Amino acid sequence: MTSEPIPEKQGTPSGPEEEIQTQSGYVQEVKLFTNSDPGNMCIIDGNVGSSVQVSRIRSLERGIFNLPSGSTMAMGLINGGPASLVYGAVITFLGSLCSAITLGWVALAGSAPFLPGTQIQGLLIFNYPDSYTSERWHGTMLYWAILLSSALICIFCSNVLRLLEKITMALHVGFYLIILIIMAVVSPTKHSASFVFATFGNNSGWLNDGIAWCIGLLSCCYVLMGYDGATHLSEEMDNADIGVPRAMVGCVVINGALGFKFLITLLFCMGDFELALSSPTGFPII
């Protein structure tokens, strides 16, 4: 007696999501995602979107990989005992919550709109020193204006985002070259190489130079923190497993090289940096 193989189920899925168990222990889920690229949009079961297959591991390997996460419990048992684990969990929860509340706005929605908002205020101070009186709440209102305008564009004008990104890219590269060339050619004074590469100053108020050095690194880290943007588009990319890593590494390499060249040119051509730091605009570059 021979058994015949069970025929596979034919036809289209009955719902927008179908799980297919494969022989390798993985589950592929077919989901509908809204695609921001109008050229790749399709209609499935009355829904507009694109069919994307997402692999999710549901196998023995996943349990093995997650098992070591519980091994850190031994540290608490050895160093303090059960009470250390109980009260330590509460303390770390409250501490992490305080860190998120106080620093979250700096890392996420606070820093990006805050900088252009206060730069606009600095330009007002620079161009209208007699007629404009700067107030701190002016910068706050400019911050909210930029934040809300960005949100409205993303919500109601998503069809022009591709064009806006191309225009922004062209302006970014164009003004980078213009500013770089003008600084190098027009600057009346040039600093020496020893000033650029060997001068260390601590005007932060911290007595420890090491702390001041670490705080100064934040300005260098901030300009390179946007490389994760490629991951947010991975669902809409072809060959995302190759394209996303290339985009992330390329972002750091290209912007790091261009930024370093701009930084060196700026330091050689900036003039009196103490006078620049005392600018009433709050931005030495203005």
* Tens-digit pLDDT profile for residues 196-255: 888 887 877 888 888 888 888 888 877 777 777 788 778 877 888 888 888 889 888 888
Model confidence at 170: pLDDT above 90: yes
Query: For position 145, what pLDDT does the model report?
Result: 93
Band of pLDDT at residue 181, cut at 50, 70 and 90: very high
In the 3-class helix/strand/coil scheme, how is the chain assigned residue by residue?
CCCCCCCCCCCCCCCCCEEEECCCCEEEEEEEECCCCHHHCEEECCEEEEEEEEEEECCHHHHHHHHHHHHHHHHHHHCCCHHHHHHHHHHHHHHHHHHHHHHHHHHCCCHHHHHHHHHHHHHHHHHCCCCCCCCHHHHHHHHHHHHHHHHHHHHHCHHHHHHHHHHHHHHHHHHHHHHHHHHHHHCCCCCCHHHHHHCCCCCCCCCCHHHHHHHHHHHHHHCCHHHHHHHHHHHHCCCHHHHHHHHHHHHHHHHHHHHHHHHHHHHHHCCCHHHHHCCCCCCCCC
Residue ranges of domains in the chain: 18-58, 71-100, 109-156, 187-286
- The pLDDT of residue 37 is above 50: no
The larger pLDDT score, comparing residue 186 to residue 82, is at 186
Q: 138 or 215, which is more confident?
A: 138
Residue, of 261 and 273, whose pLDDT is higher: 261
pLDDT band at 9 (very low <50, low <70, confident <90, very high): very low
66: pLDDT confidence band, cut at 50, 70 and 90? low
| Whole-prediction pTM | 0.58
Q: Which of 72-81, 183-192, 245-254 has the lowest mean pLDDT?
A: 72-81
- Indicate whether 91 pLDDT > 90: no
Average pLDDT (26-43) is 43
User: Which pLDDT score is estimated for 18?
Assistant: 44
